[in-house]
Amino acid sequence: MNIDFHTHIKIAKISRFMPEYFEDMVEEAKVAGLTAICITEHFNTFQSMDTYDYLKAHYTYEQEHYNVRGLKVFTGMEVDVKEVGHILIIGQRDEIVSMRQQLTGFEQKPDFMPFKALMDLADLYNVIRIGGHPLRTSTPLTHHNPEQLKRLDALDLNGRDLYAQGQHPYREELEAFADSIGLPIVGGSDTHQYLQYGSVYNESKQECETIEELKTMIKTGDYETKVSIELDLKVKSASLVKKLIKTSLDENGIATGYSNVALKRDSTEVMS
């Protein structure tokens, strides 16, 4: 299994869920060699439940993931905490929807849920908790109480941050931070535009079907985090296309020119 623990299927928080965009993302995830992704869309994104409604209407839910034309899609969300930082929560569909409902009223700064309260809420569900981009300058996790951080399942080796901060120094710093609190590291591309898929992912001999199996995979270390030799090209290219698509958003959050600005598969193959 090749799985990416940190992905988005909307171009921006302010955009609507676009089925065509989602379907393109799925196809390109498979082209990039992924067999599974975790959708960790921002919990406070515009009309956040539209994604789940679309998946429920169009695809089969098998055990604890969607089968989207052969790609395993696990559900989740990315949650802001009051003290600054982002936490990736991955779980069974109904539990993610229920947990999201419990976050009503905590969607905007300065009213984000405190870190401890979010961990207490997560304790009520069978979910995976990953510290998103823990060394990012704007949203670090390094200032949090180490005892609370130990309630996470892992830290995020983030594709965007590897590109922005330099692969070797960033990875060394992250490994030192993870060791200091006794947490493993899993890879997440932080993809918003499909050219970024495959920049960072996790390869495992296990073929996980459930959240518990994913948890066990992380806990036992039965996986290897891979960083593409083309990471810089993938992230930079995706960032440029993302900006271009965002310029086409109308007042309703719809990318009116998406079909004109999206790079189709033949363009992807040329770039890679």
| 58-80: pLDDT as tens digits | 999 999 999 999 999 999 999 99
More confident residue, 185 or 258: 185
E-state strands within the chain: 2-7, 36-39, 60-62, 65-68, 71-80, 86-91, 127-132, 154-158, 185-188, 200-203, 224-227
| CA 168 – CA 20 distance, rounded (Å) | 36
Tell me how far CA of residue 130 lies from CA of 149, 187, 201, in angstroms.
Answer: 10, 10, 14
More confident residue, 2 or 49: 2
Residue 239: burial class (beta carbons within 10 Å; 0-12, 13-18, 19+): middle
What architecture is domain 2-271? Alpha-Beta Barrel (3.20)
pLDDT at res. 15: 83
Strand partners, 78: 42, 88
| 109-167: pLDDT as tens digits | 999 999 999 999 999 999 999 999 999 999 999 999 999 999 999 999 999 999 999 99
pLDDT at res. 254: 65
What percent of the chain clears pLDDT 70, i.e. is strictly above it? 92
